[in-house]
A = this chain, B = another copy of it.
């Protein structure tokens, strides 16, 4: 950053783009908005916007996240800078440099429509048509980054509500990685990693599931997993076995989507049924 007075410099527009993910009904989903004007009118794009004169990219990203999701408190949500996209022609109108962020949401408080965007929707990450600008690549990069961070951090809890079962936590891994994990082994790994999760004093979840009620856990204090929880090496040909998403039955859905109420996920939900000793 030397040589200030030696070159003329071109001004750039600086924006943020948000890749907001959630796991819903066993499918990884991204928050997208439908573009109203050219270019790419009618196509899906990542939410985002300009960085204002007196804010950092992180501040702008958190502001946009709040606007776009309609959540009142986004301070606790995981928001992480991904990388900056600066190809000269990525926006046909002008020179735009965009700082991309990845954000993780636990429950999906059904779109919003709060901010700039008229229509915002959660769409499955897999097989979505071409997005506006270079947003396909941003989504792919963000997906890959999150998958990698699940291995050596405790980030997966950011996809879960304040209290969750180990089955829900496992489904986060399986959904992001697109693999199936052995349940007892996953359980052992998570429980023996100090500070990954901690059991909530006296609770077990009853009604939602079909089987034995599962114990509830909270995120522990640890941020990194040592040693890491490695994703199973792809055997050889093609992708590993993908877990089938639970059947999209209405009403009492399977597993994680059975959670009632999508309001503020701040306090423990008292409508969660029976709690044994």
B-binding residues in A (CB < 8 A) = 1-7, 9-15, 17, 33, 35-37, 45-58, 81, 83-84, 86-88, 91, 93, 95-99, 116-117, 132-133, 152, 226-228, 230, 233
A9, A10, A54, A226 interface centre (most CB from chain B within 10 Å): A9
Given A14-B97, A56-B86, A227-B230, 12 new contacts (CB under 8 A): A1-B91, A2-B47, A2-B49, A6-B116, A12-B51, A53-B88, A56-B87, A57-B97, A81-B83, A83-B83, A84-B84, A226-B233
Q: How far is the CA of A230 from the CA of B229 in the complex (A)?
A: 12
Assuming the A-B contacts A56-B87, A83-B83, A95-B53, are A17 and B1 also in contact, with contact meaning beta carbons closer than 8 angstroms in the complex? Answer: yes
Q: Which residues of B contact A99 (CB under 8 A)?
A: 84, 86, 97
When distances are taken between beta carbons in the complex, the residues of chain B under 8 Å from A46 are 1
How many copies the complex holds: the figure is 2
Question: CA of A251 to CA of B35 in the docked complex: distance in angstroms?
Answer: 66
Task: List the B side residues contacting A4 at CB < 8 Å.
Answer: 37, 93
Residues of B within 8 A of A53 (CB): 10, 88, 95
Given A10-B52, A53-B95, A97-B14, verify A35-B2 contact (CB < 8 Å): yes
Chain B residues within 8 Å of A5, by CB:
37
For the complex, give the distance between the alpha carbons of A254 and B36 in Å: 65
Q: Judging by beta carbons under 8 Å apart, are B87 and A33 in contact?
A: no
Instruction: Chain B residues near A11: list those with CB within 8 A.
Output: 11-13
CB-defined contacts of A58 to chain B, threshold 8 Å: 86
